[in-house]
A = this chain, B = another copy of it.
Amino acid sequence: MSMRPPLTPVIQALPVTVPFVGPEAQERERGKAFRARMGANESSFGPSPRVVARMAEAAAEMWKYCDPDNHELKVALARHLGLDVSNIVVGEGIDGLLNLVVRMYAREGTPVVTSLGAYPTFNFHVASVGARLVPVPFRDDKEDLEGLLAAVKREDAPIVYLSNPDNPMGSWWETPDLLGFIDALPETTMLVLDEAYGETAPASALPPVDVSRANLVRMRTFSKAYGLAGIRCGYAFGDAEVIANFEKVRNHYGVSRMAQIAGAEALADQAYLAEVVAKVAAGRDRIAAIARNNGLEPLPSATNFVTIDCGRDATFALAVMRYLLGRDVFIRKPMAPVLDRCIRVSVGLDHEIDIFAEELPKALAAARNS
């Protein structure tokens, strides 16, 4: 038998896995398209028309490499946030930045604290360096700040991940609670605060921008309310020395020229963002009302999706989701214990929400009879 180049022991031990199966893969398997795309927490309202026009115009210049400094986008972000460019790093979506922060602070055996059932891509990156994930269960459908803090201290963990508002439950903490959590963290623990859904959250869920702490890095994205999930552009901000360390590991030419251009233009059109945020709020209300009309409990949401408690166990919620998928309605559901009694429905366009309204009662009836 022939020999092979040896993978590192950490990589050798990992399964070949995809953190999320995309809707396109499901459509290929099903052999037909979804009628309603309400599962990936995308912004069905699309990017600003200004951004679309700017991208179309920029297409012909894609022969040029991207600026590895992401300079113009960082200048725009710095102005937007009231920071210096040295406080900002741009990456290939928050996913790319999570990979970097994990590689910066974790290696084989390092304890890394997160919530059980929180963002799986973070866990994927933790596994890729052989670090040890310490998952803390949600409490009352929220990430458990006290539990996370206790785990950090018990494990002497150099990283803790918190998403606020969170996915998959849509819940959030208010600023005083967050600041209390941050204050209580050891100085030697980096809080990775994922604010992907920050734009759709109440202002009170976003602590003031403050880069004075060397153990806090906050991440935001153009993938959600800005409607640019497909362009791959996110950013992190924090203490300048922390941000500088990203230079040691990031793929300097990773963020495309198109992404840099689209991001800067999107940021410049805050009026459009405000419109989208209002539409998202209205969509959430509609989805919540549909849930209630069917005797289900929608959880409060600060995101662009609504998580719905189906009122029974995980098997039941899974049956509801499967029925909807079979009726060409793409949604997802939480999979961690307790959370898994729910389904998760992204705000879609009105005609998609209509389809959901029509199919949900049938899904519940089918699940009850199965």
Q: State the A residues within 8 Å of B (CB).
A: 2-8, 10-11, 14-22, 24-25, 28, 37, 40, 42-47, 51-53, 55-57, 59-69, 71, 92-93, 95-96, 99, 103-107, 110, 121, 128, 158-159, 187-190, 214-215, 223, 227-232, 241-242, 244-245, 247-249, 251-259, 262
Contact = CB atoms under 8 A, between A and B. Distances in A.
A90 to B, nearest CB: 13
Number of copies of this protein chain within its complex: 2
Q: 7 nearest interchain CB pairs?
A: A230-B257, A56-B56, A55-B59, A5-B190, A63-B227, A24-B67, A62-B230
Contacts of A45: 63
20 contacts: A5-B159, A7-B104, A7-B245, A8-B104, A16-B245, A16-B247, A18-B252, A20-B252, A28-B71, A43-B63, A47-B63, A52-B60, A56-B56, A62-B227, A62-B230, A96-B254, A230-B257, A232-B254, A256-B258, A258-B258
Given A60-B46, A95-B251, A96-B254, A24 B187 contact: no
B230 A63 contact: yes
Contacts of A262: 62
A15 to B, nearest CB: 7
A276 B15 CA distance: 42
A46 B63 contact: yes
Contacts of A231: 62, 256-258
Interface SS of chain A: loop
B6 A253 contact: no
Given A25-B69, A256-B258, 6 more contacts: A4-B188, A5-B189, A6-B188, A10-B107, A21-B68, A56-B56
A5 B95 contact: no
B230 A61 contact: yes
A156 B175 CA distance: 55
Contact of A106 (B2, B8, B242, B245): B8
A53 B188 CA distance: 51
A228 B62 contact: yes
A318 to B, nearest CB: 22
Contacts of A247: 16-18
B105 A8 contact: yes
A230 B258 contact: yes
Given A59-B55, A63-B46, A252-B18, A105 B6 contact: yes
Contacts of A93: 251, 253-254
Contacts of A21: 68
Among A55, A105, A223, A256: residue with most chain B CB under 10 A: A256
Contacts of A7: 104-105, 245
Contacts of A241: 4
B228 A253 contact: no
Nearest to A8: B107
Given A67-B24, A107-B8, A188-B6, A230 B256 contact: yes
